[in-house]
Chain A
């Protein structure tokens, strides 16, 4: 049984006009101890997907439906209060995009890390004991994420961006969740810090056996840590598979374009940008949502939404799952 099994998840945003279909029928599985990368351009709905998984629905969210089975239990069916008590941060936690604004400016970071722990064990032990235990837990986590111990008594504005990001990671681990969602944990950091951060995450994954959902727009970065990679486009997953296959033998034209758009040190070729603009999610293109920007598009792509085609790769029994009409055996 997979740790996480997402089936046909939807979440839209109500606007003045048509709703924004930011998460529009997403399905994937994630095994225990594995990392899944979710890659896509800005605005493709990655953050929305993670919010939907955490059920942190913005006030204008509508049409939240589908199944999210975490450790055998469909958490979409839970009532809000149950979800808060049982799932949030205990089973699934998250490091938000933009650590800069994720910390409360007027509370010490140590306290912010400890908060879920205090809430979880509230009323079980004496107040004093609980405090002490919480402090120990925070220090342990700070060691784990390689933050200086003094930092617990600091306020957010006294820390650097990298340190704040580490605080956020420490915070996400405080209740030993089985799944951590990392929403672009490195994009705001400069390159050297980025590398440190990736190493830290890899170590955590290895040592703690935690599963990650790693959100990024950099497919190469994703492949560094992830076992599997999913590519998101306009609120849908267009291709998902083993990281190596995705990197070396992508089948979906969009994945191919994404790979070509990364600047590479060892290559002389200039990175190629994907022509055209990402679609308007209030009124996505008919058929395959990528077809207006796709060089291989043919008439069927405009007409019908492609189903999932499973391509056997040989390296892996699972293979790639791709939504593209080019892979249809009986073409046209």
Chain B
């Protein structure tokens, strides 16, 4: 199979993923009647406000009713309630695909814009800041330690690391976050020092001046980042260690040693070079899924990113935002996968030609 064809198939699958998610969203919103119920509730709410307004100016009851009926129909038409969900929701999806994401009902950016695009524009960088910092630290840490451990498989430190990895596999990041918050509380109550703030992104009020603000931001980001690193570093180290170990057992590594190459060259050119693609996969997949996982971490640390936004949107039952964000989460994930696919082809000649 040629590269182009491989890529095309992968690309199509990923587009299929996006499509499947959207169909699922539409069907579950429409079929359960959730969408209808919610929109009707919104219309009723607005009509009630209208009635109060009209009652001030118009005396005649019939006239009021008449006006309200007209208004209601207009509103229903504007929300699309006059059409069945099978027609209305696909239109919404089509807008979403074109990244015409619409307006949020109650959620707003710091500047007060309720356009979902600007909401995402405000929140996504914050999530990325957390996630990429944590992933980068984890990756570097895991690579160093993993390679170290791979050279002494079965040793005491290796066994401890394996156990640590197993434990952190079972440790949900959000609970670890809660523990961290609890710990900062204990430190605060026993020593009277606030090592890290328990949540949020800036102190209230945020300090003046660029540098002070940046430091304040870092101070607030520290706890979530430490938590995420602590949780993922163990299993990441273990993945690297296992990959390196498995590759180190390959015959060609023995050959490389037999050729009289120094240990460093053997490690770099023969072991890491071959173990790199799967390690890279793990890294990018980890990054992609921790964007989704941010829903939990950001909730715990009250970090106003994409995850927190999604959570708030669900709590406030804002259909448009939920759909838009579900799409965005999937899009980010799928894009990461595709980049991975391309990278894989660059790094691994076996894929290129098979």
Contact = CB atoms under 8 A, between A and B. Distances in A.
Contact of A89 (B250, B258, B354): B258
A93 B261 CA distance: 13
A104 B260 contact: no
Given A104-B252, A104-B270, A155-B349, A89 B260 contact: yes
Contacts of A93: 258-259
B274 A106 contact: yes
Interface residues of A, number: 27
B265 A119 contact: yes
Contacts of B69: none
Interface in B260-281: 260-262, 265, 269-270, 273-274
Interface in B228-263: 250-252, 254-262
A56 B257 contact: yes
Contact of A104 (B256, B258, B354): B256
B5 interface: no
A222 interface: no
A116 interface: yes
B341 interface: no
Nearest to B276: A106
Given A56-B257, A102-B252, A107 B269 contact: yes
A123 to B, nearest CB: 13
A56 B254 contact: yes
Given A103-B252, A105-B350, A157-B354, A90 B274 contact: no
Contacts of A202: none
Nearest to A84: B260
Contacts of B349: 105-106, 155, 157
Nearest to A51: B254
Contacts of A87: 260
Interface string A278-318: 00000000000000000000000000000000000000000
Nearest to B275: A106
Nearest to A111: B269
A119 B258 contact: no
B191 interface: no
B259 A171 contact: yes
A90 B262 CA distance: 14
Contacts of A155: 349-350, 353
A102 B250 CA distance: 8
Contact of A54 (B258, B347, B348): B258
A106 B254 contact: no
A94 B273 contact: no
Interface string B321-354: 0000000000000000000000000011110011
Contacts of A84: 260, 262
A119 B255 contact: no
A101 interface: yes
A87 to B, nearest CB: 8
A85 B262 CA distance: 9
A98 interface: yes
B278 to A, nearest CB: 12
A18 interface: no
Interface in A96-125: 96, 98, 101-107, 115-116, 119-120
Interface string A65-104: 0000000000000000000110111100110101001111
Interface string A29-67: 000000000000000000000000010100000000000
Contacts of B270: 104, 107
Interface residues of B, number: 23
A106 B350 contact: yes
Contacts of B259: 88-89, 93, 115-116, 119, 171
A98 B256 CA distance: 15
A102 B269 contact: no
A69 B316 CA distance: 83
Nearest to A87: B260
A89 B350 CA distance: 28
A158 interface: yes
Interface centre among B254, B258, B260, B349 (most CB of A within 10 A): B258
A116 B269 CA distance: 13
Contacts of B256: 104, 115
Given A105-B274, A107-B273, A158-B353, A96 B260 contact: no
A164 B203 CA distance: 65
A155 B274 CA distance: 13
A118 B348 CA distance: 23
A227 to B, nearest CB: 25
A105 B250 CA distance: 11
Given A98-B251, A101-B251, A106 B260 contact: no
A157 B353 contact: yes
Contacts of A89: 258-260
A16 B257 CA distance: 27
Given A84-B260, A90-B260, A171-B259, A104 B254 contact: no
Given A106-B348, A157-B350, A157-B353, A101 B258 contact: no
Question: Which of A115, A157, A158 is packed against the most chain B CB atoms within 10 Å?
Answer: A115
B233 to A, nearest CB: 26
A78 to B, nearest CB: 13
A106 B273 contact: yes
A253 B282 CA distance: 57
Nearest to B352: A155
A117 to B, nearest CB: 10
Interface string A123-160: 00000000000000000000000000000000101100
Given A116-B260, A119-B260, 9 more contacts: A56-B258, A94-B258, A102-B251, A102-B255, A104-B256, A106-B350, A115-B261, A116-B259, A171-B259
The list of the 10 closest CB pairs from A to B, nearest first, reads A88-B260, A101-B251, A89-B260, A104-B252, A155-B349, A116-B259, A102-B255, A89-B259, A102-B251, A84-B260
Interface of B: 250-252, 254-262, 265, 269-270, 273-274, 347-350, 353-354
13 contacts: A56-B258, A84-B260, A84-B262, A89-B259, A104-B252, A105-B252, A105-B349, A106-B274, A119-B261, A119-B262, A119-B265, A157-B350, A158-B353
